Amino acid sequence: MSPDDLFNYYQQRSSGVNEIQTMLMALSAAVMKADGKVLKAELDYVKAFFTNQFGANFQQQQLQTLKKFLDASSIPLNEICRDIRNRMQPEVRIQLIHYLFGIAKSDGNVSTSEIQVIEQIAALFGVPQIEFESVKNMFYRNVDSDYKILGIDESASDDEVKKAYRKMAVTFHPDKVASMGEEYQKGAKEKFQKIQEAYEAIKKRRGIK
């Protein structure tokens, strides 16, 4: 199936009741294919997410949709991401990035190629780099991760740390996706908790009261 044919298929499937499921399947396939091998852990993660989000009745039909994208030689990400950007609120797009990192991390390791694909999707979504880095460092940790989760670097003053925490706490508050399904809210709560943990870790290291 050519990229044009695949995008036509996507458009047909992403109208009406299948809207969000088809969007998620297209994005899921892009991340699952990123490192050249589709792993059972990734498939299990996607199945569990969809079962919790949409109920058991989704499976067969949506897995066929996922297979269609996985079998394609290339996925028209530019067109799909542009469509999602036009149809979804910024808070939902950020939550989708969180979901995609969950797929990447499901085998215990987030590869460079997976990060690159998710970063490409985030850019096409119009997600600011600082917010992308915040989500990324919740899954891909290094010594700077606590600071990057708050959108700052280690040279920030104590006041800047507090201000950054307050800003991120507002940006990623679970109430922003309160109208979405249970799994989105679960992801948002996890993200909010990571922001709080990062702030507490920095406060402890610096002795901030």
Per-residue model confidence as pLDDT tens digits over 77-132: 999 999 999 999 999 999 999 999 999 999 888 889 999 999 999 999 999 999 99
Q: What mean pLDDT comes out for the span 147-160?
A: 93
Residue 142 has pLDDT above 70, yes or no: yes
Q: Which of these, 121, 92, 118, 90, lies nearest to 105 by C-alpha position?
A: 118
pLDDT at site 59: 66
pLDDT-based confidence at residue 143 (cuts at 50, 70, 90): confident
Amino acid sitting at position 46: V
Q: Which of these, 150, 152, 45, 54, lies nearest to 101 by C-alpha position?
A: 45
Maximum separation of any 2 CA atoms in the chain, in Å:
59
Q: Where are the chain's structural domains?
A: 1-113, 128-209
Q: Is 73 strand, coil or helix?
A: coil
Contacts of 88 (CB under 8 A, 6+ apart): 23, 96
Question: Looking at domain 128-209, does it have CATH number 1.10.287.110?
Answer: yes
Contact assessment for residue 103 and residue 46, using Cβ atoms and an 8 Å cutoff? yes
pLDDT at site 109: 83
CB atoms within 10 A of CB 143: 7
Distances (CA, A) of 69 to 32, 155, 200: 10, 44, 41
Q: What mean pLDDT comes out for the span 43-63?
A: 80
Give the chain's end-to-end CA distance (angstroms, integer).
59
pLDDT-based confidence at residue 57 (cuts at 50, 70, 90): low
pLDDT at site 80: 96
CA dist., res. 26 & res. 14, Å (int): 10
Contact assessment for residue 179 and residue 92, using Cβ atoms and an 8 Å cutoff? no
Q: Give residue-wise pLDDT tens across range 66-80.
A: 999 999 989 999 999
Contact assessment for residue 38 and residue 111, using Cβ atoms and an 8 Å cutoff? no
Q: Give residue-wise pLDDT tens across range 3-51.
A: 889 999 988 888 766 788 889 999 999 999 998 888 899 999 998 888 8
Average pLDDT, rounded, for the chain: 89
Residue 58 has pLDDT above 70, yes or no: no
Contact assessment for residue 60 and residue 19, using Cβ atoms and an 8 Å cutoff? no
Helix (H) or strand (E) holding 90: helix 90-105
Contact assessment for residue 174 and residue 189, using Cβ atoms and an 8 Å cutoff? yes
pLDDT-based confidence at residue 177 (cuts at 50, 70, 90): confident
CA dist., res. 179 & res. 184, Å (int): 9
